[in-house]
Amino acid sequence: MVAQIIDGKLFSQRLRDKVALNVADLKNNHKITPGLAVVLVGEDPASQVYVKSKGKQTKEAGMNSYEYKLKEDTLELDLLKLVYDLNNDDAVHGILVQLPLPPHINEEAVINAIDPAKDVDGFHISNVGLLATGQSSMVPCTPLGCLLMLKEFHGSLSGMDAVVVGRSNIVGKPMAQLLLNESCTVTITHSRTKNLEHVVGRADIVVAAVGKAEIVKGNWIKPGATLIDVGINRVEGSNGSKRLVGDAEFSSCSEVAGAITPVPGGVGPMTIACLLVNTLVACCRKYGLSEPDIKLS
């Protein structure tokens, strides 16, 4: 079997076009421009790239982008003060503090200082709780992007066996919650899971989100299963050049899976598109306007 490629680039473009249409409508009919504030502390090269990309795509969707670049040695108190000010700024509908933060800053304290209504990452404990109880919340962007692609591809996911490899707060746990809310039978695996290959081999849907280059191999995958690869790992090729690979070995997995997301060009572009969706949703909720119906097709 040769897997069908799930084209995250194409899906994310469709999603961003829909967001841009909704933003244009908000501007024309309500004189409201959604605004997203992104805060970066320090100079982590990967975070700098992500933040730049977020700002660019926010502006392309017609929204206001506010970028705050703080020094590596910024005090936690000063970051909390900025979050407080953004919470109280009516032009800001979404706030994202790029992670990881420098080690002297308590990430949980900062995340939980964000107004949950502006928490476009969906990391605040009250959004986590709302998602876990199936209530309206802000849904973390990467898992939301994965779910939208899965639903676009399969329609209903009800009754499917789903295995999530990785238990991070950013991807693994919320991904499992979203799949459970779609009536999948969900297993979360992690570094202590016994016989990981066997567990993965039962799945109709595999979401690989461990941050380890190419650990999921083709002979782990049930023939015809759908594989969503969240990993973005920079590895050195045989000629010394750097290339990006996922958490799954694409060459072997794509021979067995029914469908697979490539790296790059799969989950990555969907994450930022979902950030724009969340900012739009936060803005609509603030003004009591109907939320956009975001489906891909």
Closest CA to 83 of 45, 56, 109: 109
The single residue among 36, 82, 96, 128 that binds ligand GUN, judged by CB under 6 A, is 96
The strand pair at 185-189 and 226-229 is best described as: unpaired
Instruction: For ligand GUN, give the closer residue by CB, 39 or 256.
Output: 39
User: Which phi and psi (to 5°) does residue 238 adopt?
Assistant: -65, -30
Instruction: For ligand GUN, give the closer residue by CB, 209 or 225.
Output: 209
The single residue among 23, 92, 141, 284 that binds ligand GUN, judged by CB under 6 A, is 141
Q: Could you say whether residue 101 binds ligand GUN (CB under 6 A)?
A: no
135 tagged catalytic: no
Contact flags string 156-175 toward ligand GUN, x per CB under 6 A: --------------x-----
Residue number of the CB atom closest to ligand GUN: 99
Candidate segments 67-75, 87-95, 96-104, 286-294, binder of ligand GUN by CB under 6 A:
96-104
Closest CA to 131 of 118, 143, 148: 143
Instruction: For ligand GUN, give the closer residue by CB, 142 or 254.
Output: 142
Pair 170, 141: CB distance under 8 Å: no
The alpha carbon of residue 181 and the mean position of all alpha carbons in its chain are separated, in whole angstroms, by: 17
121 tagged catalytic: yes
Contact flags string 49-88 toward ligand GUN, x per CB under 6 A: ----------------------------------------
Among 18, 54, 118, 222, which one carries the catalytic annotation? 54
d(CA 233, CA 247): 7
Buried/exposed 14-46: b ≥16 CB within 10 Å, e otherwise? ebbebbbebbeebeeeeebebbbbbbbbbebee
Instruction: For ligand GUN, give the closer residue by CB, 141 or 179.
Output: 141
Beta-carbon-side half-sphere exposure of residue 223 (alpha carbons within 13 Å): 2
- E strand or H helix at 36, and its extent? strand 35-41
Q: Could you say whether residue 247 binds ligand GUN (CB under 6 A)?
A: no
Q: Could you say whether residue 121 binds ligand GUN (CB under 6 A)?
A: yes
Q: Could you say whether residue 142 binds ligand GUN (CB under 6 A)?
A: yes
d(CA 76, CA 105): 5
98 tagged catalytic: yes
Residues classed as catalytic: 54, 98, 121
Residues that bind ligand GUN (CB under 6 A): 96-99, 121, 141-142, 170
